[in-house]
Structure 1
Amino acid sequence: MGLTGEEAARKLVKLLDLPITWKEYYLLAQQQYQLLMPNAKFMPGAENLIKHLSQNKVPIAVATSSSKDSANLKTAKYKDTFNLFSHIVTGGSDPEVKHGKPSPDIFLVCASRFADSPDPQKCLVFEDAPNGVLAATEAGMQCVMVPDEHITTEQTRQATQVLKSLTDVKLELFGLPPLK
């Protein structure tokens, strides 16, 4: 969704008119999260893409709306792959990220933490959530979206490119070494 856990809980309880408070929902969701996230898998093509960019010395980072604890839980079994990233910005707990997606804060903070602090126009974001696409484009960055099947075409319009899978990405269109 591109939202912090608290933001998502507030929206879902209101949207679905649930008979519990957002805090109760958040606690229940956190319990399920603790059970499910250690088994999270990469999107098809993601691990290969990460390794390819790293091997070709393309600086890469993660900008997630998750808290640091949640991000650590999701990535625990993939430490070797996640060590290839320059840094990880966790919007749910990073004090420099003042507003969650669709605000551009998280991507601007992420770009500023690279050693050369690249111009946002030279950054390429990979996203699966409409709020993330809006945040990336608002930051002035190009964005490749790999939406799930529940995302409408209207919600993908802001993306620079929309793919069914990361295995379909053509990095050379963005001036990067082609994926092998």
Structure 2
Amino acid sequence: MSKYRAVSHVIFDMDGILLDTEGVYKKAIATIASRFGKNYTSDIVAKVTGTVERESARIAVTEMKLPMPVEEFQNEFHKLSYDFFRKYGVTVFPGAKRLVHHLSKHNIPISVATSSSQDSFELKSAKHKDFFKLFDHIVCGGSDPEVKQGKPAPDIFLVSASRFPDKPNPEKCLVFEDAPNGVQAAVNAGMQVVMCPDENVPSELRKNATMVVNSLDDTPVEAFGLPELIK
């Protein structure tokens, strides 16, 4: 017996999984922190990654003891990160592109469940519209009224599952995540989760994942009953 359950639907996080955006977020937070002589360390990065913007701001201010209101930090972070996105653009991870095209070709229902707001999603995905057309739907947790709580609460993944036409049971969904908060959200939703973490995420924060990979196209998806990805 395989230790993995067969699935029928796949849900992807976006930042750090599909799009190479985490560097921009780190740069924005580190820029603000440096003004106060603070360091945005890897353990704080792990706590922030995958959270909605308001929660990211609260964690950053609290953990680094920054002398500014959370709302002020959020506004500055929002402006800086958007400026960086416009200036540098965003790329799709090659491994993600291969896996998404593979699943789409085999008619596997796929969706995106991102903590980003709708306007943030539009900005980051602007140059990749054809790629995102491959997905059945997009859930933007930062602005979707049905997503009551952000990750690590399971809301965003349960909402995403419910929006597939056939409304699969959570156990039939496989999630791809990079962040510990996202992994925990998937586990809380009753879903299996493949983690493709940033190198700064410590090993103890990877333990809840069903599987850990270095790149999405390294995932042996056939272990979950999906068509094998041939390299």
Quick check: 35-44 or 131-140, which moved more?
A: 35-44
Q: Which amino acid is 1:33 matched to? A: S
CA drift of 1:31 comes to 1.4
Please say if 1:12 is aligned against 2:60: yes
Which runs of structure 2 are paired with 1:33-72 in the superposition (5 Å)? 33-38=81-86, 39-72=89-122
Q: CA RMSD in A?
A: 1.0
Q: Distance in 2 between matches of 1:10 and 1:18?
A: 10
Which runs of structure 2 are paired with 1:159-174 in the superposition (5 Å)? 159-174=209-224
| Cross-structure match for 1:103 | 153
Q: Which amino acid is 1:152 matched to? A: P
Quick check: 117-126 or 32-41, which moved more?
A: 32-41
Which one of 114, 120, 134 corresponds to residue 184 of structure 2? 134
Number of equivalences: 180
CA drift of 1:20 comes to 1.3
Q: Which amino acid is 1:25 matched to? A: F
Give the gaps of 5 or more residues in structure 2. 1-48
Please say if 1:144 is aligned against 2:186: no
Quick check: 34-43 or 67-76, which moved more?
A: 34-43
- Matched residues, percent identical? 54
| SS of the residue 1:149 aligns to | coil
Highest Rg: 1 or 2?
Answer: 2
Give the gaps of 5 or more residues in structure 1. none
Q: What is the TM-score normalised by the length of structure 1?
A: 0.97
Which one of 173, 196, 201 corresponds to residue 123 of structure 1? 173
CA drift of 1:108 comes to 0.2
| Cross-structure match for 1:30 | 78
Q: What is the TM-score normalised by the length of structure 2?
A: 0.76
| SS of the residue 1:45 aligns to | helix
